[in-house]
């Protein structure tokens, strides 16, 4: 028997991987989790000789057990090709202070979301075929800036799919916004909501949970799915690059076989770091998982006190893709830490939605002790970007948060374990904040594209294709809505 998937809240059980990918979210509002963790059946030495695509197959075949070898390889080879500007796909680079930056931004939209969203459309269309789905798939996505563009780039003009993206108006960088508003493809729609990311994400979840609306959609020939990291089709592909990074470190003799590494991840919705945790569950030698937050430090507070409390001001920061107070994927860790007790998980999630907070038990905290929380204020982040730039390497504002938290951890603990820092976006995507951090406030009054030129002159890193694409592209989307009328907006876009 292969791996089957259960809802974290107990309402749905024994779902195949392809069905879980098609649905995105379980019917009871919970998230799908595998019924057991498989283990890697290749040794680190074997993995160290593999390409990214081969590694992807070794990892994904363990979880997506109802996909045939041919289907999976078709998905992998279609996704990880020359869309990426490096053959490595994920590039392990720049060792300093025992840390490697793992550049996950070499895809089409220059953020790490491409790592999973370039394969999700393949997985989804394959899953639809396998399950004889007869409806058009409508991908509803809330974005804090990067998921939206990466998902549209993946799904644009894919037959049998439509994609609708909601982003917080005024809550994303100018480059992020332009990337979305200029998106081509007749099946794409972008909507700026008058609210923050949490409003967008809650709104999308409410639409998923509205049965009556679901029936109306079905009658009109549509079926909803999600491209957010609540979809296991996002999560599993993200496990791959941690395995790949470990194998690369081994190949480059940065570590010995079996040596443990730490992983530090700039975190928002808790998807990327959860993927690192899953990599550990399948046998990758990983020690600590350092969870780096910006000023919206709910996760730091959670890991230091055991109480998750979203009742606080939402702060717009220079790392907008991490401006999140409700980290959806934390539900999966909660579920694992109470030994897959779905009643307990459902109870805590109910508390979260009713009171905005919950507290986990001591034994649950004990089971989460691999995670170390940390955070960096905007000033600390800017100082870290500046410090690293002086060594000749430019990082973006999200990676800056992780880099800063890693340095704090290293000083505080004296831990000298080799560490992978997830570098989640190209600095070009956040040129304004990056150049202000490096050259000072004199940069402030410049136009976004002047700042991009400054970044090019300073870093000598070639301007990515994604930037060239938006310089003169036509604005194609201008829809706006409030968090209250997202459902009507979806209906309108679908012509219902
Ligand atoms: C989405 C995103 C993050 C946060 O990742 P999560 O999986 O939501 O924790 C960090 N950095 C960048 C650049 C992102 O786009």
Judged on CB neighbours under 10 Å (0-12, 13-18, 19+), 215 is exposed
Alpha-carbon gap, residue 208 to 140, rounded angstroms:
9
Alpha-carbon gap, residue 398 to 400, rounded angstroms:
5
CA 369, distance to chain mean position in Å, is 22
Say how many Å lie between the CA of residue 425 and the centre of ligand 1: 9
Q: For 58-81, write each residue's pLDDT tens digit.
A: 999 999 999 999 999 999 999 999
Kindly list the domain boundaries of the chain, sorted by start residue. 91-110+233-462
Q: For 98-115, write each residue's pLDDT tens digit.
A: 999 999 999 999 999 999
At residue 281, the pLDDT reads 98
Which of 31, 106, 109, 112 most suits a substitution to test ligand 1, by most atoms within 8 Å of the C-beta? 112
Q: What is the DSSP secondary-structure string of 200-262?
A: HHHHHHHHHH-HHHHHHHHHTTEEEEE-STTSHHHHHHHHHHHHHHHHHHHHTTSS-TT--EE
Which of 109, 115, 120, 146 most suits a substitution to test ligand 1, by most atoms within 8 Å of the C-beta? 146
For ligand 1, whether the C-beta of 424 sits within 6 Å is yes
Atom of ligand 1 minimally distant from the CA of 275:
7
Alpha-carbon gap, residue 236 to 225, rounded angstroms:
16
Pair of tokens at residue 259: 């040596």
For ligand 1, whether the C-beta of 105 sits within 6 Å is no
Say how many Å lie between the CA of residue 61 and the centre of ligand 1: 25
* Residue 1 confidence (pLDDT) above 70: no
At residue 441, the pLDDT reads 85
Pair of tokens at residue 346: 């459902």
Q: For 386-434, write each residue's pLDDT tens digit.
A: 999 999 999 999 999 999 999 999 999 999 999 999 999 999 999 999 9
Q: For 250-287, write each residue's pLDDT tens digit.
A: 999 889 999 999 999 999 999 999 999 999 999 999 99
CA 44, distance to chain mean position in Å, is 25
Atom of ligand 1 minimally distant from the CA of 324:
8
Say how many Å lie between the CA of residue 229 and the centre of ligand 1: 10
Say how many Å lie between the CA of residue 320 and the centre of ligand 1: 9
Domain 91-110+233-462 bears CATH identifier 3.40.50.150: no
For ligand 1, whether the C-beta of 111 sits within 6 Å is yes
């Amino acid at each position: 028997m292969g791996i089957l998937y259960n809802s974290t809240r107990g309402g749905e059980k024994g779902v195949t991987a392809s069905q879980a990918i098609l649905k995105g979210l379980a019917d009871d509002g919970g998230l799908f989790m595998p019924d057991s963790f498989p283990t890697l059946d290749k040794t680190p030495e074997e993995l160290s000789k593999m390409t990214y695509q081969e590694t992807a197959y070794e990892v994904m075949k363990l979880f997506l057990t109802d996909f045939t070898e041919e289907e999976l390889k078709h998905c992998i080879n279609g996704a990880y090709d020359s869309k990426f500007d490096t053959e490595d796909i994920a590039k392990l680079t720049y060792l300093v202070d025992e840390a490697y930056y793992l550049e996950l931004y070499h895809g089409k939209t220059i953020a790490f979301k491409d790592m999973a969203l370039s394969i999700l459309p393949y997985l989804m269309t394959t899953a639809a075929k396998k399950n004889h789905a007869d409806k058009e798939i409508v991908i509803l996505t809330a974005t804090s800036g990067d998921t939206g563009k990466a998902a549209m780039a993946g799904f644009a003009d894919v037959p049998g799919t439509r994609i609708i993206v909601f982003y917080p108006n005024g809550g994303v960088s100018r480059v992020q916004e332009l990337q979305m508003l200029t998106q081509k493809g007749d099946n794409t729609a972008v909507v700026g909501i008058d609210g923050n990311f949490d409003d967008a994400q809650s709104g999308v979840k409410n639409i998923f949970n509205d049965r009556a609306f679901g029936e109306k959609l079905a009658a009109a020939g549509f079926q909803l799915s999600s491209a957010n990291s609540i979809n296991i089709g996002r999560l599993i592909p993200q496990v791959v690059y941690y395995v790949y990074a470990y194998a690369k470190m081994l190949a480059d003799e940065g570590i010995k076989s079996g040596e443990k590494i730490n992983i530090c991840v700039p975190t928002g919705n808790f998807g990327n770091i959860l993927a690192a945790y899953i990599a550990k569950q399948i046998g990758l030698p990983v020690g600590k998982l350092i969870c780096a937050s910006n000023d919206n430090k709910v996760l730091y507070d959670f890991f230091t006190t055991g109480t998750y409390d979203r009742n606080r001001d939402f702060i717009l920061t220079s790392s907008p893709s991490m401006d999140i107070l409700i980290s959806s994927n934390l539900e999966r860790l909660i579920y694992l830490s109470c030994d897959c007790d779905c009643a307990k998980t459902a109870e805590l999630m109910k508390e979260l939605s009713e009171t905005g907070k919950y507290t986990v038990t001591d034994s649950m905290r004990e089971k989460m002790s691999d995670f170390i929380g940390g955070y960096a204020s905007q000033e600390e982040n800017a100082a870290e970007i500046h410090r690293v730039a002086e060594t000749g390497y430019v990082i973006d504002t999200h990676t800056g948060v992780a880099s800063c938290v890693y340095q704090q951890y290293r000083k505080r603990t004296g831990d000298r374990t080799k560490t992978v820092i997830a570098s989640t976006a190209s600095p070009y995507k956040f040129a304004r904040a990056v150049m202000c951090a490096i050259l000072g406030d004199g940069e402030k009054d410049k136009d976004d594209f002047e700042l991009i030129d400054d970044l090019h002159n300073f870093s000598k890193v070639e301007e990515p294709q994604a930037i060239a694409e938006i310089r003169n592209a036509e604005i194609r989307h201008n829809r706006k809505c409030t968090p209250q009328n997202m459902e009507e907006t979806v209906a309108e876009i679908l012509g219902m």
